[in-house]
Amino acid sequence: MKKFIPFIFIFLLPLLEGLGSEENLPKFKTLKIQVFQSYEEPSQGVNIPFKEVASRLFSLAGVTVVPEDSKNYDALLTIKVEGKALGRNYIKGGYLYTGAKMKGEVSLEVGGKLVREQVKINVEPWEISPYEATEWVDPEIYKDPGRALASYAFGYGESITEEGAEPPPEMREAGVGIKLAKICYRFFGVKPLLLALTDKDQTLSMIAGMGIASVKDPEAVLPICEMLKSRGKEDKLRPALIWLLGELGDTRAEDVLMEALKKEQNQSLKNSIIIALGQVKSRKAVEQLLSLLNDKRAPLECKQIIIESLGNIGDERAIEEIAKYLHIVEGGLRFTAIKALGKIRSPRSAEVLIPYINDKDINIAYEAKQALWKMGAEAIPVLFRELKKNKELSEGIAEIFDKGIKDIKAIPYLLSALKDEDRMLREFALTGLVSIGRPSIEPLISFLEKEKDQTALRYAASALRAITKQDFGLDPAQWRQWWDENKK
């Protein structure tokens, strides 16, 4: 692998200076790399180029890699991995190796310090053929067990949680590549990863990007912004740079992303920029995104992505526009709108959502209840107010409270509801205070000390009994004494 530092870094080098590492880890100038890999059939005999990739990565940190038989070196990098490719027959493509299992360890020892990263890949063969998958997949890779295994060894091993969502990079099972990037980062900071990001070797560039996304170093934001501004529209690295700015989630990237969105003609990249603007929570971009949402020419997929991003940004200006899509079934826009409104933690957003907890579509009703539950304190007074107007909402609201209120900012609303004339509201408030648990104790005791309404006091005492498993009746002095002795 030839050494290559792109021209772009001539003017980026000042930005890269001082992008530091962990101070307690010793620096080193020479590195010995040893690799132990073994694979079961049908991957037996495969030799994945871990050493070549690691050598190139650490060379960008100014480290010299010595031969395997060398006795003189500052640090020792050891890569141990075993596994196998997994396959299945597909109607389109025949037998393809779309799955993999791999485990092992990447470790670096220097100056009495040992840094370890566990390798774990666990991917079952895909349900659909790579020949039917999205355009970024090269199906030819999966014909050969060695190439397929290598693709996982340098990537993520699993990207879906139990809830069906994609977890952040640091939570994903990962192969050797990202572990190398993380170890390099711990010793030398983000600078070598930024250099590797623009390397001609696509594998090295890929693992650098995943490493930056995983460590989320804010020092990477401005250099990546500069890269994006300097890259032409056809540059193959642009999608990765846009993705990275989204993963880093830093608002300093919003101006660059907004400018890129104005100029971008490729719909796929437009969608990626919109997603990134949502991830950085760009309030500046709200008007621009609303304008795109109202564009009749925008495809349904784009509208769905815009709504998701507006929800992630959480700006109240988007509520009314998103609400228009609660009646549009096509493209799953109703579901997307419900979820987005739930992320905009605002009483107005709660008002819009409440009617849908009784929607005739049980899936929409479920999503509306989920959204209101996740909204927390902002939804509580609205739920109570609407319940007093319409008792038919009681069953849906009961389900929300049964899931458990965890937002401590809801406590004042719940305490106030203990005094309400409506018994149903008092019961819901009791349930909410109990589900919040220990943080409710001090406010409940203060409530006992100040409140005169006997019915409200009985509900407060009941909540205290349920939370503490103690019983001092309505006596605030005994409750206070017990709490002073047990609150630490």
What pLDDT digit, counting tens, does each position of 162-214 carry?
Answer: 444 555 554 456 889 999 999 999 999 999 999 999 999 999 999 999 999 99
pLDDT of residue 22: 55
Task: Encode pLDDT of 74-105 as tens digits.
Answer: 999 999 999 999 999 999 999 999 999 999 99
Q: How far apart are CA 325 and CA 87, in angstroms?
A: 42
Long-range Cβ contacts of 166-174 (<8 Å, 24+ apart): 168/247, 169/210, 169/213, 169/214, 169/247, 170/214, 170/215, 170/216, 173/120, 173/121, 173/122, 174/119, 174/120, 174/121, 174/210, 174/214
- C-beta separation of 59 from 3 below 8 A: yes
pTM: 0.83
C-beta of residue 384 within 8 angstroms of C-beta of residue 419: no
d(CA 443, CA 452): 15
The pLDDT confidence band at residue 134, using thresholds 50, 70 and 90, is: low
> How much of the chain exceeds pLDDT 90, in percent?
77
Query: 93: burial class by Cβ within 10 Å (0-12, 13-18, 19+)?
Result: middle
User: How much is the average pLDDT of 136-147?
Assistant: 85
Do 282 and 256 form a contact (C-beta atoms < 8 A)?
no
Of residues 337 and 22, which shows the higher confidence score?
A: 337
Structure tokens at 79: 């890569």
Q: What do you get for the CA distance between the two ends of the chain, in Å?
A: 60
Residues 6+ apart with CB under 8 A from 352: 319, 323, 326, 341
Largest CA distance in the chain: 84
Dihedral angle computed from the Cα positions of residues 13, 19, 23 and 25, in that order, rounded to the nearest 10 degrees: -70
Residues forming a β-bridge with 327: none
Dist. CA 406–CA 268, nearest whole Å: 38
Non-local CB neighbours of 95 within 8 Å, separated by 6+ positions: 87, 88, 89
Kindly give, in sequence order, each residue whose CB lies less than 8 Å from that of residue 393, ignoring residues fewer than 6 positions away.
354, 357, 358, 383, 386, 387
Beta strands 75-90 and 113-123: pairing type? unpaired
DSSP state letters, 330-385: GGGHHHHHHHHHHHS--HHHHHHHGGGGG-SSHHHHHHHHHHHHHHGGGGHHHHHH
**High-pLDDT (> 70) share of the chain, %:** 91
Q: What is the mean pLDDT of the chain?
A: 89
Residue 330: pLDDT band by 50, 70, 90 thresholds? confident
Specify whether the CB–CB gap between 276 and 245 falls below 8 A.
Answer: yes
DSSP string for 274-320: HHHHHHTT-GGGHHHHHHHHT-TTS-HHHHHHHHHHHHHHT-GGGHH
Q: Regarding beta strands 173-174 and 75-90, do their DSSP bridges make them parallel or antiparallel, or are they unpaired?
A: unpaired
Q: What is the model's pLDDT at position 246? A: 96
pLDDT of 10 > 70? The answer is no
pLDDT of 358 above 70:
yes
Residue 421: phi and psi, rounded to 5, are -70, -25
β-pair type (113-123, 64-66): unpaired
List the structure tokens of 349: 């957003």
pLDDT tens for residues 439-473?
999 999 999 999 999 999 999 999 999 999 999 99
Radius of gyration, alpha carbons of the chain:
28
- Report the pLDDT value the prediction gives residue 231, as an integer from 0 to 100: 86
Give the type of residue at 16.
L
Please give the pLDDT value at position 157.
56
The CA distance from 1 to 193, in Å, is 16
The alpha carbon of 479 is separated from its chain's Cα centroid by a whole number of angstroms, namely 42
Q: What is the pLDDT of residues 370-389, one digit of tens each?
A: 999 999 899 999 999 999 99
Are 311 and 322 contacting, i.e. CB atoms less than 8 angstroms apart? Answer: yes
Tokens of 6: 């792109």
Q: What is the structure's pLDDT at 329?
A: 83
| 318 and 336 Cβ atoms separated by less than 8 Å | no
Cα 76 to Cα 54, 111, 151, 260, 416: the distances in Å are 12, 10, 25, 43, 63
Q: Cα dihedral angle (107, 109, 115, 118), rounded to 10 degrees?
A: 10
24 band by pLDDT with thresholds 50, 70 and 90: confident
